[in-house]
Structure 1
């Protein structure tokens, strides 16, 4: 099965080198589809995480300043919420965190929103590409159970979430650090005992 991952990675790499930037969106979608197929959380937990994420995002969008003057991403894995992105106002950052904490079933909130204006679409495209490269490398790494890891990149900062052993976390961090464009890697793991 691992040979399949390597073959997929090679095909994606070749296609990207031949197709240029137009293929990036398709590659990102393909990596996301692969990640969903190999996600080992139960369907109930996955749906619960999606529901939590949607509720938080909907509540954030109802606040005009958070919707119009900020860029806030909501990521949920195993009821743990990561808020990332940018807002120009510290009180808006706190407001987003308060919204996340108010949603039922949330066990913890990591507020990594930076105080600055929203990033450009070019930066967001670069971030998506970094995430895609990391996911591809993780899928091709034999000793890594990448299905237990969620990857998000925001302004060059890579966030890794999931339920892993410390050894798996170290492997994932090493992979992420090797990718061009990565400024920093933040671990938001829940560790298996």
Structure 2
């Protein structure tokens, strides 16, 4: 889990260079004393929104530790300010408390609470989930008819969650690929569906700005 920086956030954006196979190679962002590695020029979120999602995850992890300590195992994933909570908690009360804690973080738009009232998953289970996530991502890359950078993949206890701003065609294709991946027991779709016209407009804007998704002049996410 990430540590909350002790000083205010300051942002230094370093270059992201597009690589082959629909992937992007990115230098890290510095947010105060923390290094943010998930910023990608090929991502369909604005740069500002990607930074905000990283910030939500960092603050959420710190506040969950503060309120719930080590008795829980919670993963927090933010995509376009929609927050997914996965993992295990010892009681229904802890599940609701975790949601309340995260809901108080600035700029969180919505929360999908997939926490399970169970004992902590084992290291073997977590390693298996990581392997499954890797296989799903590899299948998305191999397919070549979907943009891998448009998707975020999370796996918890064999359940694979798919997030992203994608068209219905892309959503259905990615879902099919994930369902046919070894180790996936269930696929949960958490997509924001856009039209083909919106996708073409995004691609046009990205091309005109040299691969960087425009950030509003106010600096706030679109």
Question: Which category describes the TM-score, using the shorter chain as reference length?
Answer: 0.7 to 0.9
- What are the residue-to-residue correspondences of 1:148-159 with 2, within 5 Å? 148-159=150-161
- What are the residue-to-residue correspondences of 1:47-126 with 2, within 5 Å? 47-63=51-67, 66-126=68-128
Distance 1:148 1:181, change over 3 A: same
Q: Give me the whole-angstrom Cα distance separating, in 1, the residues matched to 2:46 and 2:95.
A: 32
TM-score by length of 1: 0.79
Q: CA deviation at 1:62?
A: 0.4
TM-score by length of 2: 0.69
Q: What is the aligned counterpart of 2:136 among 134, 141, 146?
A: 134
3-state SS in 1 of match to 2:144:
coil
Q: For residues 110-143 of structure 1, give each alpha carbon's deviation from its aligned partner in whole angstroms, at most 9, with x where no partner exists.
A: 0000110110011000000000111111122222
Greater percentage in helix: 1
Q: CA deviation at 1:5?
A: 3.2
Equivalent pairs, count: 163
Which consecutive unaligned segments of at least 5 residues does structure 2 have?
A: 1-19, 24-36, 196-222
Native 8 Å contact 1:159 1:186 kept in 2: yes
Q: For residues 18-72 of structure 1, give each alpha carbon's deviation from its aligned partner in whole angstroms, at most 9, with x where no partner exists.
A: xxxxxxxxxxxxxxx8995643433211111000111111100102xx3312110
3-state SS in 1 of match to 2:143:
coil
Rg comparison, structure with higher value: 2
Distance 1:49 1:122, change over 3 A: same
3-state SS in 2 of match to 1:143:
coil
Q: What is the aligned counterpart of 1:5 among 21, 27, 35?
A: 21
Q: Give me the whole-angstrom Cα distance separating, in 2, the residues matched to 1:148 and 1:95.
A: 31
3-state SS in 2 of match to 1:76:
strand
Q: For residues 142-190 of structure 1, give each alpha carbon's deviation from its aligned partner in whole angstroms, at most 9, with x where no partner exists.
A: 2212211100000100001111111111111111111111111101111
Native 8 Å contact 1:69 1:117 kept in 2: no
